[in-house]
Chains A and B, each alone.
Chain A
């Protein structure tokens, strides 16, 4: 498999068909799925965990679980990418809980003041750095929801499925997260090069 480049048919096939091919021993299909899924999963995990090595670990574990479930995958019941994000989000949550084992992450209040201070420290960094820093100061579930909604561009029902919560809870998390980000970035538009956006 290592030396076989993905063929054109595999690259245009839906994820579920590729997973069925993997279950039948097709290594090329697995490679296409890796190329398709891993970058987005890694992007999300890196933003949520703020640690590249940990992010790679959870992406690797997510895909290992995908290969294991491939033979029992039921076509049409779920999107492969949604299933992967669900596993990834849970693994990220486990990592975050392990960092602060005695804190209920859902009970953390919005740290608006901390966000402000974080952005204060980002005067000379690039826009992406500022966004990542502001995201990093959000409560974990708000951060996951905002990244899924506004960077991964997942729909609210899909995020609800990924995070195993209701659609209204997703809307609430995203709205609070965006409000906190907006508050953190307010007054920093000039530094980030947005002073003419009116």
Chain B
């Protein structure tokens, strides 16, 4: 017998399998109704869940939510404009005027404390 040959027993078994494959069970009407009912219930439950999630979000809530990022940008812009108008009148630029061509001494930038230690060194030396 060649390797590819099937034994009579294999042939009989394959014939039984083939016969079983050809047999597709009918769904009993009440069983089919149960399956369809389950599917209906699951779909209805999903729709209900979706409605519950969407319900609290009213039209006004969506409009307000849309303006939140815009209002933040507007507030930042207004704050910038206000600072721009307020700072010049506070004298900030006047304090920088000493550099406008006028002579000044370096000591003006030193602390007002007396440097006594240095004067003693000069005396001893």
Contacts and interface: CB of A to CB of B under 8 A. Distances in A.
Contacts, number: 105
A32 B23 CA distance: 20
A60 B46 CA distance: 19
Nearest to A189: B12
Contacts of B8: 189, 194, 197-198
B119 interface: no
Contacts of B46: 23, 25, 70-71
A109 interface: no
B39 A56 contact: no
Interface string B31-52: 1101110111011001100000
Given A2-B40, A25-B46, A42-B27, A60 B13 contact: no
Contacts of B40: 1-2, 27, 30
A182 B46 CA distance: 49
Contacts of A1: 36, 39-40, 43
A181 B13 contact: yes
Interface residues of A, number: 43
B21 A42 contact: no
Contacts of B38: 60, 63-64, 67
Contacts of A25: 43, 46-47
Contacts of B27: 38-39, 42
Interface of A: 1-2, 22-23, 25-27, 30-31, 34, 38-40, 42-43, 46-47, 56, 59-60, 63-64, 67-68, 70-71, 127-128, 130-131, 150-151, 153, 178, 181-182, 185-186, 189, 192, 194, 197-198
